[in-house]
Amino acid sequence: MMIALTKGYLCPSQPFNGKVHSVFRRAINITTDLTSEPWVSLLGQALPATPTAFQCDFGAHGDLTALVKAGDVVFMRGGVIRLPAAALVVNTSAAKDWPQTEPIMLLNQALIQRNFGLAEAGLSQHCVAPQQQRIRSAHEYIQHLGLTTPMCLASAPEWLTNNIGYGKGLTPSGDDFLLGVLAVLSSVYEIYPKAADIFQRIALQVQQQLGKTTDISAHYLSLALSRHFSQPVQWLVYYLLTTQDESTIAIAMAKNLSIGASSGADTIAGILYCITQLLLS
């Protein structure tokens, strides 16, 4: 039996029946029969914690794709998730909740401007264009990705949803970028009326276009519409808007940049774009 180490705050505790949706080397995605929690993930420790995932140490099991297949039956009883075909058992009852950010009640524009500069420099150092030309800003990175953005976010936020499904991979670049935008809007939703309006306008369009992207990406976008984001994304936005400590920014940036082939960088680009448009314009 394997012990789940951490759990997201939206992970189910009640019994469910389900099936494996998809499996990767260190991740299993499960669809359940629960209306409130239709998607659950089992993720390796090195992957970013999400609101609907249990993090586990899969070290002794090798490549999960050799063990688990899409369509395999899954069920949870008494806090224990079982995949009978793979003889895989995960006890979730002792899993610890990962810490969420606190509400942001005050914004300091000078501090945000400084932290933005630190994050943009970190993104630029990480990203190199195909011709080995250094990307010098978040704006240049967004252009490199080929994403669509309005000149003024407040006037045409719906334009951003044209990016849904744009790019390659399990979570296309356009989706990751949009997640970053939504994460910033969500963080100041309660204290900045303009952010709440923009968020709602984007959300209305996203709901109508989830079919344009992958199932996995649609899941994360759906979570974002309810203002739920992965642990690294939550904390990076929080630190960019609140912390005085430069090393804290650097650590949070490194955690996000390590996500996927480019997912972390794409999400950071969305975060920085939204900060520029919403809080520094």
Is 80 exceeded by the pLDDT of residue 132?
no
Give the pLDDT confidence of 2-25 residue by residue, as tens digits.
Answer: 999 999 999 999 999 999 999 999
The pLDDT of residue 61: 85
Give the E-state strand segments of the chain in sequence order. 2-3, 6-7, 16-24, 27-32, 39-44, 53-56, 73-77, 80-83, 88-91, 96-97
pLDDT tens per residue across span 203-254: 999 999 999 999 999 999 999 999 999 999 999 999 999 999 999 999 999 9
The strand pairing partners of 23, in sequence order, are 28
175-213 exposure pattern, b = at least 16 Cβ within 10 A, e = fewer: bbbbbbbbbbbbbbbeebeebeebbebbbeebeeebebb
All structural domains of the chain with their residue ranges: 2-97, 109-279
Mean pLDDT of the chain: 95
78 exposure class (CB count in 10 Å sphere: 0-12, 13-18, 19+): exposed
Q: Which residue has the tokens 């979730």?
A: 92
165-192 pLDDT, tens digit per residue, is 999 889 999 999 999 999 999 999 999 9
Q: Dump pLDDT digits (tens) for 30-54.
A: 999 999 999 999 999 999 999 999 9
Cβ neighbours around 82 below 10 Å, total: 16
